[in-house]
Structure 1
Amino acid sequence: MAKATKKQALGRGLSALLKDPDNDIKSAADKNADKVVGNIVELDIKSIEVNPFQPRTNFNEETLRELASSIRELGVIQPITVRKLEFNKYQLVSGERRFRASKLVGLDTIPAYIRITNDQESLEMALVENIQRQDLDPIEIALSYQRLIDEIKLTQEQMSERVGKKRSTIANYLRLLKLDPIIQTGMRDGFVSMGHGRALINIEDASDQLDIYQKIISNSLSVRETENLVRKYKETSNVEIPSKEEETTPKFIKKGIKELGEYFSADVDVKLAKNGKGKLIIPFNSENDFARLKKLMKREK
């Protein structure tokens, strides 16, 4: 307990130092900067502004209240990180959930690590910190990676070194941004998982993505069931996504499939949509086989 008291007293002492206009620390080269940078300082909450570079956009109110309750009982266990803007003014780099929860509790001060950086360094610090430590949803993580590429100009290899993740993992997150926005929203809201999203990426057409997405939601499909559905779709290049319910094939189609199969010497298939429109599928096994089918079709003209 004595160590904790000493640590808190040290933080309050440094806080007083930072409020002395005659000793305003503006850079790491200034007097007493070594006493502040890298140390825990008790800062006035009112002197801290939210970081505009914060990648997190959704804050669950229930979990925020739970964190506030924990802070009320135990205090802020993990200090936030801020960067110094000007005299007695700071900007949040990471720890916004702790910052918000502390304000809910009504704390006047909060323990913080102070960094003296420029905007680009602050952005990189915020993004990397959040990717590593915060409970971001897959789309928020993907957006953070994309911002590191667009705004910090990092390559995937450099990001791999910064965040300690494999390049393949980073690439998988970035691919999620190719999904239709509706699916991205569904992933952020927890209706589908990253596994579902990774399966849906293999469908290039946005409307077909949404068709399968609706099947996932309405039938509560697992990731494996979704992967099988996507695999079947790609194998047949079928516009109409098959459902779990068996559909009745009209007699004229059944008869036609048999006749066409005999004529083309192939396993002809027909996919019928609810509006009566359909798609005729004639598979081929090679270039020569494809030429054979073309010749048969021309013969009918």
Structure 2
Amino acid sequence: MYQLDPKKLSCLGIQEVPTTLMNIEVERLHPGVWQKRKSFNEESLDDLADSMKTTGTNVVPLIVSLRPDGDFSIIAGERRWRSGKRLGFATLKCEVGAYSYEQAAYISAIENLQRTDLNPIEEATSYHDLCTDLNLSHGDLAIQVGKSRSHISNYVRLLDLDIRVRDSLISSRLSYGHARPLCSLKNKADQRNIAEKAVRFEWNVQKIQQAVNALTQRKPSPVKLSDTDPDLKRLERDISEVTGLDCVVKRTPSGSWQLGFLAPESESFTGLLDRLGVRFDSDLEN
């Protein structure tokens, strides 16, 4: 779970915003425009309501800002507000601050990322919106939320998937691991077809990857041999016969030589290195 670290918010000046703790009438609280979450788990809201009923109030205050009409917009704590309404609470504890749009967007997104029931599309949307609203790169955001840059980038790629695939992620019929291979498919119909089969036949990640590979793997383009010098052509054929790999031999205008090989898979590549007496780091295969 993510933890909101005030030290990481200094660039936005969030900790510098003065706040006031108030008890505010429930009917004067409204969901904020920063809330990207569209669905709320009913069972989770019931559990939260039971907890609030035991304490008689919300122990953790909502974070809100004043609206022009005198009411308040919820920046963080909409689940507590919804549970409070279920219980018929007249007021809720709130921390009121004059936050800027960027500050409120950051606080709201970070609160969403702290949830344990966050689905992959909600997580991806939070990352995307933070980068857009705050003009952050994936690397910058990764530092802020304590994740790797690749983690951010891989999740944001989910937003380009076919809408039905995204719906399957939201409804938990597909996991992030199931959907990630589909991101390599440009055709959304292909994405949708594989996703539907994965759900229907309960495919594992490996099966989905195999289906994706069947669509994306093509025969490699043949290596273009030298087409000007017959001596070079013959040399290329001789080298290919010895190494078992297609090769290209070039001579530059300066008189230097270039030799290139095409190894279609790791086994061919390691075989060539063995014949050359080169020690191979197996980590390169991953």
Q: TM-score, normalised by structure 2?
A: 0.66
User: Residue 109 in 1 paired to residue 91 in 2?
Assistant: yes
Match of 1:213 among 195, 211, 216: 195
State whether residues 79 and 112 of structure 1, in contact with CA within 8 Å, keep that contact through their aligned partners in structure 2.
Answer: yes
* Counterpart for residue 28 of structure 2: 47
Gaps of at least 5 residues in structure 2 are 1-14, 228-286
State whether residues 79 and 110 of structure 1, in contact with CA within 8 Å, keep that contact through their aligned partners in structure 2.
Answer: yes
Measure, in 1, the Cα distance between the counterparts of 2:126 and 2:146. Answer: 15
State whether residues 93 and 126 of structure 1, in contact with CA within 8 Å, keep that contact through their aligned partners in structure 2.
Answer: yes
Structure 1 residue 86 displacement after superposition: 5.3
**1:127-153 deviation per Cα after TM superposition (whole angstroms, max 9, x unaligned):** 233223463211112112222232332
State whether residues 56 and 136 of structure 1, in contact with CA within 8 Å, keep that contact through their aligned partners in structure 2.
Answer: no
**1:225-278 deviation per Cα after TM superposition (whole angstroms, max 9, x unaligned):** 22233234333x5xxxxxxxxxxxxxxxxxxxxxxxxxxxxxxxxxxxxxxxxx
Three-state SS of the structure 1 residue aligned to 2:190 is helix
Match of 2:65 among 83, 92, 97: 83
RMSD, aligned α-carbons = 2.7
Aligned amino acid, residue 89 of structure 2? L
Match of 1:129 among 83, 104, 111: 111
Match of 1:62 among 43, 57, 63: 43
Q: Map 1:61-210 to 2 at 5 A.
A: 61-74=42-55, 75-85=57-67, 89-133=71-115, 135-210=117-192
State whether residues 44 and 108 of structure 1, in contact with CA within 8 Å, keep that contact through their aligned partners in structure 2.
Answer: yes
State whether residues 41 and 112 of structure 1, in contact with CA within 8 Å, keep that contact through their aligned partners in structure 2.
Answer: yes
Measure, in 2, the Cα distance between the counterparts of 1:233 and 1:97. Answer: 43
Which deviates more from structure 2 when the two are superposed, residues 133-142 or residues 218-227?
133-142
Structure 1 residue 77 displacement after superposition: 2.9
Identity among equivalent positions (%) equals: 27
State whether residues 40 and 113 of structure 1, in contact with CA within 8 Å, keep that contact through their aligned partners in structure 2.
Answer: yes
Q: TM-score, normalised by structure 1?
A: 0.63
State whether residues 132 and 163 of structure 1, in contact with CA within 8 Å, keep that contact through their aligned partners in structure 2.
Answer: no
Aligned amino acid, residue 198 of structure 2? I
Q: 1:129 to 1:63 in 2, by over 3 A?
A: closer
Aligned amino acid, residue 201 of structure 2? N
Q: Map 1:21-40 to 2 at 5 A.
A: 37=19, 40=21
Q: 1:288 to 1:155 in 2, by over 3 A?
A: closer
Structure 1 residue 121 displacement after superposition: 2.1
State whether residues 128 and 162 of structure 1, in contact with CA within 8 Å, keep that contact through their aligned partners in structure 2.
Answer: no
Measure, in 2, the Cα distance between the counterparts of 1:224 and 1:179. Answer: 19
Three-state SS of the structure 2 residue aligned to 1:49 is strand
Structure 1 residue 212 displacement after superposition: 0.9
Measure, in 1, the Cα distance between the counterparts of 2:91 and 2:70. Answer: 13
